Amino acid sequence: MPIKHFLDLSDAGADGIAAMINDAIDRKAARADWPKGKPDADAPLDGRVLAMVFEKNSTRTRVSFDIAMRQLGGSVLTLDSSSSQLGRGETIADTARVLSRMVDVIMLRTDDHAKIEEMAKHATVPVINGLTDRSHPCQIVADLLTVIEHGHPLPGLEVAWFGDGNNVLHSILEAAALMKFNVRIATPAGYEPEAEFVEMARVGGSQVTLTQDAAEAARGADVLITDTWVSMGQEHVHNKLAAMAPYQVNNELLSQAKPGAKFLHCLPAHVGEEVSEKVFEGSQSVVFDEAENRIHAQKSVLLWSFGLLDAPS
């Protein structure tokens, strides 16, 4: 059987993503109120080891994959570039071949997407994208789960994005193509997402609106999403922050959306920049459900990579 790498959402396709979400809902319900480190009853990854490789900082991805493996009955080890030989120039290709002899699955967070493609090319175990400069697919499985849990079916959903056209937005656009929802994107000129992701969503049947008017994007939205204006690896540039200011998700913007619309943010947040404190702490914010759902979503991603998820009937 070919190795099931999860470099982007398209690797799993619509059926794979649906299977992940269904499995996450079932497993989450089955272990409600259990101690967080206790394995699920079936412990499907008993004896399996995940290597997490970080070339960038992380809180949620690191902890959620660690707890996910514990709940699936497996274990983890963590490497970073500063204390591993990656930081001294050992190649990705050799690292992939060595780790493949020692562990059962690899998760990599890095900058250049080409590095994760290189890891996948040389690994003989599944490789999972824990974020690159181009995309963040694991986050979006958690986001879709969160939206569904809060009562919004995906087909026809109106998602609005504000601020920087970044890696998280790219994965939202990929998800839109697969799961048939619409995306309204409000960014300053010059900060739009890469055209290939917009095209991918449109070819998939999603309606994508690109605007510089935040209120236009918010009008009638079911879900409002933003992210940091300065992603990891980018420099704090005064001009960029000034350009982003009109795209803050605040109560005025939220009032344009559908009543009961939900606010999502992958975190970490910069409250007072991309989101106001009132929205972040308000009743429509589901950001901590979203953060918790990283565990449930990452379990599904892992199971999919091991070929242990059934497609929905």
Active-site residue, from 109, 122, 265, 296: 109
Phi, psi of 128 (to 5 degrees): -115, 135
Q: Are the beta carbons of 174 and 201 closer than 8 angstroms?
A: yes
Q: Give yes or no for residue 82 binding ligand CP (CB under 6 A).
A: no
Query: Considering beta carbons, is residue 133 or 222 the nearer one to ligand NVA?
Result: 133
Query: Does 232 engage in binding with ligand NVA (CB under 6 A)?
Result: yes
Span near ligand NVA by CB under 6 A; candidates 95-103, 226-234, 240-248, 271-279: 226-234
Amino acid 269 reads A
Considering 62, 227, 248, 298, which one is annotated as catalytic?
A: 227
C-beta of residue 8 within 8 angstroms of C-beta of residue 42: no
Would you give the binding string for ligand CP spanning residues 31-70, x where CB under 6 A is met?
Answer: ---------------------------xxxx---------
- Known catalytic residue: 136? yes
Q: Does 267 contact ligand CP by CB under 6 A? A: yes
Quick check: 298 binds ligand CP (CB under 6 A)? Answer: no
> Which residues, 188 to 247, sit near ligand CP by CB under 6 A?
none
Of 131 and 218, CB closest to ligand CP: 131
Known catalytic residues are: 109, 136, 139, 227, 266, 294
Give the residues lining the site for ligand CP (CB under 6 A): 58-61, 131, 139, 266-267
